[in-house]
Amino acid sequence: MCKQCKGNYYITTPIYYPSSNLHIGHAYCTVATDAMARYKRLQGYNVKFLTGTDEHGQKIEDKAKEAGLTPQQFVDNIVLGERGVLDLWKLMNISYDRFIRTTDDYHVAAIQKIFKKMYDNGDIYKGAYRGKYCKPCESFWTESQLKDGKCPDCGREVMDAEEEAYFFRLSKYADRIQDLLENTDFLEPRSRVNEMVNNFIKPGLEDLCVSRTSFTWGVPVDFDPGHVVYVWIDALFNYMTALGFENDKYDDLKDFWPADVHFVGKEIVRFHSIIWPAMLMSLDLPLPKKVYGHGWLNFNGEKMSKSRGNVVDPYLLSERFGVDALRFFLLRTFPFGSDGNFTNELLINTINVDLANVLGNLVSRTTAMNQKYFGGVLAEGGEAAELDNELKALAEDVVANYEKQMDKFQFSNALAEVFRLLDRANKYIDETTPWILAKSEDTKPRLNTVMKNLCEAIRISAILICPFMPDSSKAILDLLQVAEADRVWDARNYRVDTAWTTSTGAALFPRIDMEKELAALEELSKPAKPAIEIEPYSEEKVDFDTFCKSDFRAVKVKDCKNVKKSDKLLQFTLDDGTGVDRQILSGIAKFYKPEELIGKTLVA
Ligand code: ME8
């Protein structure tokens, strides 16, 4: 730990399945983690923020096969490709310190060692697995755990599974886990504790199947060829291998383990609060300090999923509304521990009310008045009136409450506090009526004090919103020309004696026309029409005359790519010998991959 730091802080998101592009529900947890990491950095902690991708398992193997790619090519596309996972986190301003991919060599080798250690200590043993398996969730279930015969997590069909397999002695740790959950703050919110204890521990924890032989895309069990390690062992230990556990790639374990908090979605709380601590207990390792299970975002009342066609695309939303507005909306609107219902109306309304009317308006009114009445320069000193003291007291109360709420991960409450200050500052303008004070030289000193109070209320609010909207916070502090030293957490005290020089700028958050925007979003969510309609493939034979009239040419494929939102079409750029590139579409995407065709000579 560095000398001037308050301490180390290790926070993680779940590592995402790169089985299809991420939606706004995935971005939700990462934005929350990012806000927390930025808040801790602001406070002076030495933060390690880990995220990554969970790349093994049957689901990925199957999807890769469908796409005609190797599993590694398939996950590389989704993680590294254009508009992939890394691009998304960059777009959304996610300040992660480390990104782990479970296919990274150091992680794979570490998982093999970890598996062997639990085998050697007797907690992993060989048996035969008979039961039910939910492929999309990569979860094994016993009959008694099924809900109406279906997967209790996602409600989908499960399949029979029987194979030779290794088991982890989860049952051995049942009492210790129950004690951990019931008698400590390990798992929050508290409601999730009852769910875990009543639904999983009290009915009897059974040993967990931790290897598979029916597919190969996983970490091989090195002492028993044919077995691959169960994807959840592989996934959960990412939190430690990414710090250097059982590998030489990193050396951060002593500084950052145990983790301060794992943020996870509610459906994977079971893995993080039962299986994860049990495996750590088996290896005699310290447990993370906390697991926080956040709620789910639905879209228009329905579960978000690609297959339901109601996915909310974070790229589209960021492009239209700005990344900060989207980040703000997610954390301002939905209490972190509960489910929330995302609608476009709610998003636009939140931007218009909170960001345009309250925050944006306060900043533009204040800076415009500073400019108009003082040429942007406010003098030092001045006496505080009762209204000023009230504003100051409220600001101090807001800062204290904000901190309490952030420390409990109650982001929506923390932001509500900031808006208490912003609302009060807007009201302060109406109460002090600067435009009347400006009319007489006698009241100009009072006007100077009023404007300084407004600048100070904005400065403090801008520091508090920084973890949520880093770019907007900076833009506001730049407008107020706040020195670097006064942008930090330690400068959160309300001070009115200082001088100010402020600038003016364009509106930070322009109001959005709800009706027009909703119509535009609806239009954009319709599947894109291909530029050229093509005839469907037909078995019909052509007659000889038609054949003679046809123009067949040998062409060289200069470029070839998939057509967005079409699983049939490929778009070709061809050299047909005329000297001018020719563009054509062809419905052969199911049979060929674009990269296989580039450079080939075809008949067109
Ligand atoms: O579960 N609202 O990966 P994943 C809120 N690889 N959160 C949502 C959401 C929604 N609509 N949809 C998904 C996995 N999430 C594992 C994790 S960790 C060792 C392994 C959240 O890509 C979900 O709750 O399916 C989970 O926390 C995260 O996105 C990753 O989901």
Check pLDDT > 60 for residue 556: yes
Asked if 64 and 73 count as a contact pair (C-beta separation under 8 A), the reply is yes
Instruction: Walk across the sheet containing 124-134 and list its strands.
Output: 139-141, 124-134, 159-168, 208-209
Asked whether residue 157 carries a pLDDT value surpassing 50, the answer given is: yes
Helix residue ranges, H only, 322-408: 323-333, 344-350, 361-374, 386-407
Q: What is the pLDDT of residues 103-152, one digit of tens each?
A: 999 999 999 999 999 999 999 999 988 888 888 887 778 787 888 999 98
Tokens of 366: 């204040």
Greater confidence (1 vs 94) lies with: 94
Backbone angles phi, psi at 279, to 5 degrees: -70, -35
Answer yes or no: are the C-beta atoms of 259 and 289 closer than 8 Å: yes
% of the chain surpassing 90 pLDDT: 73
- pLDDT recorded at residue 81: 92
Alpha carbon nearest to ligand 1 atom 27, residue: 265
Q: Which atom of ligand 1 is nearest to the CA of 26?
A: 29
**Phi, psi (deg, nearest 5) at residue 133:** -135, 130
Residue 148's Cα: distance from chain center in Å?
32
Bridging pattern class, strands 46-53 and 8-12: parallel
Q: In the prediction, which pLDDT does 531 show?
A: 40
* Residue-level pLDDT at 539: 47
Closest to 494 (Cα-Cα) out of 407, 582, 400 = 400
- Find the mean pLDDT for residues 189-211: 95
- pLDDT at site 311: 55
| Cα-to-centroid distance, 214 and ligand 1 (Å) | 25
Instruction: Tell me which DSSP letter residue 157 carries.
Output: B
- Find the 125 Cα to ligand 1 centroid distance in Å: 30
**424-436, pLDDT tens digit by residue?**
999 999 999 999 9
> Would you give the DSSP letter of residue 482?
-
Q: Which atom of ligand 1 is nearest to the CA of 267?
A: 24
Structure tokens of 504? 């003016």
Count of C-beta atoms within a 10 Å radius of residue 10: 27
**What are the angstrom distances between the C-alpha of 238 and each of 100, 108, 247, 258, 560?**
7, 10, 12, 13, 37
For residue 288, which amino acid is it?
P
CA of 297 to the centre of ligand 1 (A): 11
The better pLDDT of the pair 476, 308 is held by 476
Choose one of 54, 135, 233 to mutate for the ligand 1 pocket test, by most ligand atoms within 8 angstroms of C-beta.
54
* Residue 585 reports pLDDT greater than 80: no
Site residues for ligand 1, CB cut-off 6 Å: 14-17, 25-26, 28-29, 54, 235-236, 238, 264-265, 267-268, 296-297, 304
User: In whole angstroms, how far apart are CA 377 and each of 61, 143, 451, 480?
Assistant: 64, 73, 10, 10
Distance 416 CA to ligand 1 centre (A): 26
Average pLDDT, the chain: 91
Which residue is closest in CA terms to ligand 1's atom 14? 16
Contact 256, 97 (CB under 8 A): no
For ligand 1, atom 10, which residue shows the shortest CA distance?
Answer: 25
8 Å CB contact between 234 and 227: no
pTM: 0.85
Q: Read off the pLDDT of residues 313-347 as tens digits, 9 standing for 90 and up.
A: 888 899 899 999 999 999 999 999 999 999 999 99
If you write DSSP's letter for every residue of 174-208 in order, what string do you get?
A: HHHHHHHHHHSSSEESTHHHHHHIIIIITT-PPPE
Distance between Cα 28 and ligand 1 center (Å):
10
For ligand 1, pick from 11, 29, 306, 338 the residue to mutate: most ligand atoms within 8 Å of CB: 29
Question: Do the beta carbons of residue 467 and residue 35 sit within 8 Å?
Answer: yes
- Report the nearest-CA residue for atom 15 of ligand 1: 26
Q: Using the atom order of ligand 1, give the atom closest to the CA of residue 236.
A: 19
Structure tokens at 365: 């009114």
Rg (CA), the chain: 29
23-35 average pLDDT score: 95
Spatial separation of the C-alpha atoms in residues 409 and 290, rounded to whole Å: 12
Q: Cα(10) to centroid of ligand 1, in Å?
A: 19
- Whether residue 448 contacts residue 379, with contact meaning beta carbons closer than 8 Å, is answered with yes
Q: What confidence score (pLDDT) does residue 21 get?
A: 80
Task: Report the C-alpha gap between 388 and 84 in whole angstroms.
Answer: 50
529 alpha carbon to ligand 1 midpoint, in Å?
A: 31
pLDDT at 308 over 60: no
Each residue of 441-457: pLDDT tens digit? 999 999 999 999 999 99
In angstroms, the CA 87 to CA 561 distance is 20
Q: Examine residue 258 and say whether the peptide bond preceding it is cis (omega within 30 degrees of 0).
A: yes
pLDDT tens-digit profile of 269-295? 999 999 999 999 999 999 999 999 999
